[in-house]
Structure 1
Amino acid sequence: MGSRAAADLVPGPNPNTSFIPYPFRINRTLEEVIAEHVPVYEWSWTETVFQSWETMLLIMATFWCIFMARLVTHKLGLYSSPNRCYGVEFALIILPCILLVTVAVDYSYYVGVLMLLVTLWFLLNSNFMERARSRQKFDLGNRPIALSVLRSVTHLLTAICILAVDFESFYRPYRKSRQFGAKLMDVGIGLFVFTMGSVSRRTRHFSDLQRSVVYSALPLILLGLARTVAILVVGYGQDEHEYGQHLNAFFTLGFTKLLGALVSILARRDLHLLPLGFGLLLLHQFGLSVLGISDYVMDDEVSRSNLFNANREGLVSLPGFVALYLLSIYVNRWMVAISQLSYSEMVKKLRRLFFIALILWNLFGLSAYGIGISRVTCNFGYVMWMMAIGASTLLTSFGAIDFVINSVMPWVPNESEVDEQERGLLTDETEAKGRIKPIVPFTISQALNQNGLTFFLVANLLTGGVNIFLKPEDRSGLESVVILLVYMFLATKLVHELLKRGIRLA
């Protein structure tokens, strides 16, 4: 069991006062300090590691399904048929994800074994090493498909879980941790911040800051405000222990983007983001562990009598999320520093990414034992966990897609298709009979990347509708799967249609 550092040497916050973590009196004695009641929050580090293992198993299963969909759609030659491509991907990606968080969760380990065996069979029979060596270059592009896949997995799992959690069939150990833990639903906000940083750049000029605030941070903050107002008007319940009474995930993402853009001005080079992010994270952890801010956030006896106290979870966690954002930008800039690699350079990059992931997982393990993993405060352990998952999934994506699959079953677009993919222009109204140009691989991933915020808003609206009108807590396992399938079909098909028409909303 791990416990809070120096818990027995300092008093907890007074719930009857405004926030002053540790108001020492000059004449206070050590005996008085020890005599005061101090809440001690404990966690089992072995349980935390097991929770993380279960979480990674599901995340890797989702990635495996996406890779399998890529192989099947290529083998069947479906890229010229967007609707059939979407149908195959829906069946191979979304259906298994829904089953593995609900009625089929007991078969997760069997699925894991099956994934391993099929992967080994493919690797042994594809002659991928010789084909990879024969390639003249590995063209990762300015925005590697591996990053797009990671963003889409984050959107998909989050959307499924925010509704599935309301059904009795949902696997209870996947629910968010109240204080410390590394469960599946603890991943959502952290990976959103990681992927947000992975497509961002550090602020170099005032114009960059203005663009980040106006086009990224402000819309998220306004959406957070709209959600808060809607919840108050409708009377829809919100767990105040996640972000506070009034804040929500949109506020966290918006403020993280805003503060991250401001702090990144201090970095003169991309390399400076690394010490800047770690320095901010260590200061944040110092406040949580030594100054007792962690106790202040988690103590239910602290009244929510003022705005700060009422929203302490969301506000106190911001420095941690900003640090995660800065570190994510650095990882992205390192990944795309050279977009065209030789075979030896590609192998070297994958090897370095492997060692980075290994170091991060070791830091996660040490944190799980020493200070715990807390999404609520976004502590050092939580940030290391998110970075470890991010590095591991990027390693998997780059290795599976760019090194293996693209060597065995290459997809070689022409330059105009690449340009249209970046702009979302996958149709040409001037062509006869409205003929649709070929959809690139990973159709659903591309759709979610182009209109991710639209997808997430629609998913939230549908979730509210299901909770109000369908009473998910009373549904059987089969009914929950059917409802989740319809829900995910409506949300993903909408953004897929927008992708086909070249429409980018948000």
Structure 2
Amino acid sequence: MGSPPTAEPIPLPNWIPGNQTLAERLGLGLSSDWNWSGTLFQSWESLLLILATFWCVLLSRVVTQKLRLQGSPDLCYAVEFVLVILPCILLVTVAVDYLHFIGLVMVVVTMWFLRRSRFLERARTRSQFDLGGNRPMVLSVVRSLTHLITAICILAIDFGSFYRPFRKSRQFGAKLMDTGIGLFVFSMAVVSRRTRHLSDLRRSVVYSALPLILLGLGRTVSIVTLGYGQDPHEYGQHLNAFFTLGLTKALGALVSILARKDLYLLPLGIGISLIHQFGLSVLGLSEYVLDEDVERSNLFNSNREGLISLPGFVAIYLINIYVNRWLVANSLLSYSELVRKLRVLFRVAAVLWILFVISAYCIGISRVTCNLGYVIWIMAIATTFLWATLGAIDLVINSVMPWEASRLEEQEKGLLTGETAAREREKSIAPFTINQALNRNGLTFFLVANVLTGGVNMLLKPEDRSDFESVVILLVYMFLATKLVHEMLKRGIRIA
């Protein structure tokens, strides 16, 4: 649950004459201010934190394989917890001042590893690259890191040690916690398919969207009953992230019927985002949403943030269903085909970041309205992450340190008997144990994290805790949440 963040508007840039925003000078009809250079720096810090956590995931893969922990899910979990979750907690709290230094260390170590491993020579000798079928590792890593970072932040934000510039923006900005809902929509889209028939629509609404909406309703009722605070400027007075995800899923499933082919999802999503931006800029919807003087006199006014932003999130949803279908269209690739995919992703990411800079300058980046700038920003982060994951895992690490080859070597040396190997294959616990657990029961993990967050806020008064106490509480909190889904993975239990 988590207490509402203290969102801070970006100060008015000094270089704008007459105290006007750039949007007002261009006649876009917006009334809110933003500092585009500040937005760029916020986005850089957010991306660096995400990439640092991702780098820790890669490090955990290398370490667990070097230590030959493939047959021990509990030891794999312990190593991953220390190498991934602990650094992420430190980097959003007490160690944030070292983020850029750590980024430099990451670059140096990565370049050393690439040069020493001679990965290109090994990659060229591989007959094929198996991306993992309909659920490739590249997508599952993105989804799991979204869950991990979001879960850490929703509790860490209540402690004084949390890095304030990572908090959500009130109106315009590109902070770390602004990425949460956008990347959750991305995560939801990459495991979805376009609606082809009414039966598909019914299944999407009943089995996917409705549970999320019911969870949102339950959260609202709980907040009202317990008298727990909620910032109405985030999703509205009654709506929350679960409502946004559920309604996005339902509307996205409905709209995707219009696409006769997966390819049509891309222009459909882009078109919806452009129309949405036209409404925000020209028709004054952005000013209506962000104007604090608009009274919350009825249900729509009270929840205008969550309702007006829905078209933007639907656009993200549709575009990323297409991204998923493009990525898994052929899961068995030759070296040249993999390199071609990497080049496409790199070029698309470069174009998106250029568009992000332009958007930050012209219309701002607003999570609250999910404007065109926000859609571009989320797509830029997601595409960059896909490119980095595909290159780092499938091209580099799997060429230098193939997981299956390591397991075969252990079996040949007698470390894994045939019966043990068969049992381990059946359990399907391969590299990135926590990643697998979160992908199998991501919603369960997030619900548990929300319940634990509420408990910590009511019982432990996080605002009064020291830096050391906050780190300890966050470690215990993440251990309880991740260990639960990890045990479910070991036992083959899947809820949601």
**Does residue 503 in structure 1 map to residue 493 in structure 2?**
yes
Q: Deviations over 1:161-195 (max 9, x none)?
A: 00000000000000000000000000000000011
Name the CA shift for 1:275/1:469 in 2 (closer, same or farther; >3 Å): same
The equivalent residue for 2:464 is 474
Shift of 1:40: 2.5
Q: Is the 8 A contact 1:128 1:404 kept in 2?
A: yes
Q: What residue ranges of structure 1 are gaps of 5+ in the alignment?
A: 12-38, 415-427
Alignment of 1:104-143 (within 5 A): 104-140=95-131, 141-143=133-135
Give the Cα separation in 1 of the matches to 2:62 and 2:354.
Answer: 33
Alignment of 1:404-483 (within 5 A): 404-412=396-404, 437=427, 439-483=429-473
Q: Deviations over 1:268-288 (max 9, x none)?
A: 001101110011100000000
Give the Cα separation in 1 of the matches to 2:344 and 2:152.
Answer: 33
**Does residue 386 in structure 1 map to residue 378 in structure 2?**
yes
Give the Cα separation in 2 of the matches to 1:355 and 1:105.
Answer: 31
Q: Is the 8 A contact 1:7 1:40 kept in 2?
A: no
Shift of 1:142: 2.1
Give the Cα separation in 2 of the matches to 1:171 and 1:492.
Answer: 23
The amino acid across from 1:361 in the alignment is W
Shift of 1:7: 7.0
The equivalent residue for 1:31 is none
Name the CA shift for 1:473/1:41 in 2 (closer, same or farther; >3 Å): same
Give the Cα separation in 1 of the matches to 2:155 and 2:258.
Answer: 40
Q: Is the 8 A contact 2:364 2:373 kept in 1?
A: yes
Q: Is the 8 A contact 1:447 1:495 kept in 2?
A: yes
Question: Which residue of 481, 485, 495 maps to 1:491?
Answer: 481
Q: Is the 8 A contact 2:28 2:281 kept in 1?
A: no
The amino acid across from 1:71 in the alignment is V
The equivalent residue for 1:234 is 226
The amino acid across from 1:469 in the alignment is L
Q: Deviations over 1:56-108 (max 9, x none)?
A: 00000010000000000111111100110000000000000000000000011
Q: Structure 1 stretch 333-342 or stretch 164-173: which is displaced more?
A: 333-342
Q: Deviations over 1:210-244 (max 9, x none)?
A: 11111110000000000000100000000110000
Give the Cα separation in 1 of the matches to 2:400 and 2:425.
Answer: 29
Shift of 1:492: 0.2
Q: Is the 8 A contact 1:48 1:182 kept in 2?
A: yes
Q: Deviations over 1:319-341 (max 9, x none)?
A: 00000100011111111111111
Question: Which residue of 285, 288, 310 maps to 2:302?
Answer: 310
Q: Is the 8 A contact 2:427 2:492 kept in 1?
A: no
Alignment of 1:87-102 (within 5 A): 87-102=78-93
The amino acid across from 2:440 in the alignment is Q
Question: Which residue of 360, 363, 371 maps to 1:371?
Answer: 363
Question: Which residue of 19, 25, 38 maps to 1:47?
Answer: 38
Shift of 1:9: 6.4
Q: Deviations over 1:341-385 (max 9, x none)?
A: 111111111011100101111111110000000000000000000
Shift of 1:134: 0.2
**Does residue 64 in structure 1 map to residue 58 in structure 2?**
no
Shift of 1:435: 12
Partner secondary structure for residue 343 of structure 2: helix
Give the Cα separation in 2 of the matches to 1:92 and 1:436.
Answer: 27
Q: Is the 8 A contact 1:353 1:391 kept in 2?
A: yes
Give the Cα separation in 2 of the matches to 1:486 and 1:366.
Answer: 42
Give the Cα separation in 2 of the matches to 1:8 and 1:374.
Answer: 18
Q: What residue ranges of structure 2 are gaps of 5+ in the alignment?
A: 1-12, 407-418
Q: Is the 8 A contact 2:166 2:176 kept in 1?
A: yes
Give the Cα separation in 1 of the matches to 2:273 and 2:428.
Answer: 45
Name the CA shift for 1:10/1:332 in 2 (closer, same or farther; >3 Å): closer
**Does residue 189 in structure 1 map to residue 189 in structure 2?**
no
The equivalent residue for 1:295 is 287
**Does residue 341 in structure 1 map to residue 343 in structure 2?**
no
Give the Cα separation in 2 of the matches to 1:442 and 1:238.
Answer: 35
Alignment of 1:318-333 (within 5 A): 318-333=310-325
Percent identity (aligned): 71
The amino acid across from 1:353 in the alignment is L
Q: Is the 8 A contact 1:223 1:250 kept in 2?
A: yes
Give the Cα separation in 2 of the matches to 1:129 and 1:94.
Answer: 31
